[in-house]
Structure 1
């Protein structure tokens, strides 16, 4: 039909799919129980297919005053953006990362059979500094494009909700 071929309608439908949970609203108890086992699983339970984070590559944005991870973090903190306390990765390493604190929003749940909400973390903004490494196959110096497991795990902790 004509409506389904309109690009803005298609975009609205896509956004609605991403923003809608593909399952019934979780109970408060289920969210809290799952959070004790896996904070990311609890995050998925309340947010479904929504975006968890966005990443900015600080060494490619072309702003001289923000060319390092430290400069970018300092500028965001000075602007009042709550930031992660530590930087993941040592100076000069192939990957260094930090992030804003995750925003908290009210998420829909059921509580004792009634529709309700509870505060939960949503998304954060990651900052990455990818340095140059020697490609072992070609010997060329290239930008590191991989991930480092422990660092990624620490960044995903930005959405952890501490049980009360």
Structure 2
């Protein structure tokens, strides 16, 4: 599999449950913009069967290299970001994992049971990151138990291994003078932005500004009933030059912490 094939498959899966992303993408293209991706985010658990070391394999095979590490203590998450070794136009990859050892015994037991229910061979599949929820059932009761402690874990239970969000590279847009201008356009076009920590997370002094839509609502068929729950969102990132003149390539943990809340239904209801 080539880099482009992998990225295309990730986009297809993401767009299938995030129709707003396709609409925003098309709307910007109609304005004459050429859309470039800043980064793609993936979620997982830190169980040795599916942790970052497992999920990163396919990206490493197509030429990505590990570049940075990030900790999110309040959400019990750890993450790494990757950049392509030769294709500077390829989006960064951001992979996070839930630190199960810092979660309750109850949540740990649920996640272990979920993974135990799978054919172990699926975890050795090179394309695991494209496989979605590989476990056999979707119980609303289990979803709600996870949701009480970790929205991240509940999201993973429903959606599994796929892109959690794509991110428009605002530096590549020609018709907007700032991220605020882009935000105004997105809001005036009918979408609601994640306002946690402010609609723009980060500052020029931190060399990165980020904003995002709230996640789309997607109909999920649980064993007990069908329910609309948050799926994925579209992010926007504007990077600033470092002292050497090159754009900053990393991420700001405090900003990303707030971006994670774009899929949190409790927060969405109060946005």
TM-score (norm 2): 0.48
- 1:99 is matched with 212
In structure 2, do the counterparts of structure 1 residues 84 and 22 end up closer, same or farther at CA, with 3 Å as the change threshold?
same
Task: Kindly state the Cα deviation for residue 132 of structure 1 after the two structures are TM-superposed.
Answer: 0.9
Checking the alignment, whether the CA contact within 8 Å between 2:202 and 2:252 is kept in structure 1 is no
Kindly indicate whether residue 180 of structure 2 is the aligned counterpart of residue 57 of structure 1.
no
TM-score (norm 1): 0.76
- 1:28 is matched with 140
Listed as ranges, the matches of 1:64-83 within 5 Å are 65-83=175-193
Task: Kindly state the Cα deviation for residue 83 of structure 1 after the two structures are TM-superposed.
Answer: 1.6
Checking the alignment, whether the CA contact within 8 Å between 2:210 and 2:236 is kept in structure 1 is yes
Higher relative contact order structure (alpha carbons within 8 Å, sequence separation ≥ 6)? 1
The runs of 4+ residues in structure 1 deviating greater than 6 Å are none
In structure 2, do the counterparts of structure 1 residues 20 and 99 end up closer, same or farther at CA, with 3 Å as the change threshold?
closer
| In structure 2, C-alpha distance between the alignment counterparts of 1:73 and 1:133, rounded to whole Å | 24
Task: Kindly state the Cα deviation for residue 92 of structure 1 after the two structures are TM-superposed.
Answer: 4.2
| In structure 2, C-alpha distance between the alignment counterparts of 1:106 and 1:118, rounded to whole Å | 6
Kindly indicate whether residue 248 of structure 2 is the aligned counterpart of residue 155 of structure 1.
no
Task: Kindly state the Cα deviation for residue 25 of structure 1 after the two structures are TM-superposed.
Answer: 2.0
Structure showing greater radius of gyration is: 1
Give the number of aligned pairs.
141
Checking the alignment, whether the CA contact within 8 Å between 1:58 and 1:127 is kept in structure 2 is yes
SS class of match (2:138): coil
1:62-120: per-residue Cα shift (whole Å, max 9, x none)? x2x31310000001111112222321013443111100111001112112xxxx32111
| In structure 1, C-alpha distance between the alignment counterparts of 2:229 and 2:206, rounded to whole Å | 33
Of 224, 231, 237 in structure 2, the residue corresponding to residue 122 of structure 1 is 231
Q: Which runs of 5+ in 1 are unaligned?
A: 1-6, 135-139
SS class of match (1:55): strand
| In structure 2, C-alpha distance between the alignment counterparts of 1:152 and 1:69, rounded to whole Å | 16
Q: Which runs of 5+ in 2 are unaligned?
A: 14-127
In structure 2, do the counterparts of structure 1 residues 22 and 141 end up closer, same or farther at CA, with 3 Å as the change threshold?
same
Kindly indicate whether residue 152 of structure 2 is the aligned counterpart of residue 43 of structure 1.
no
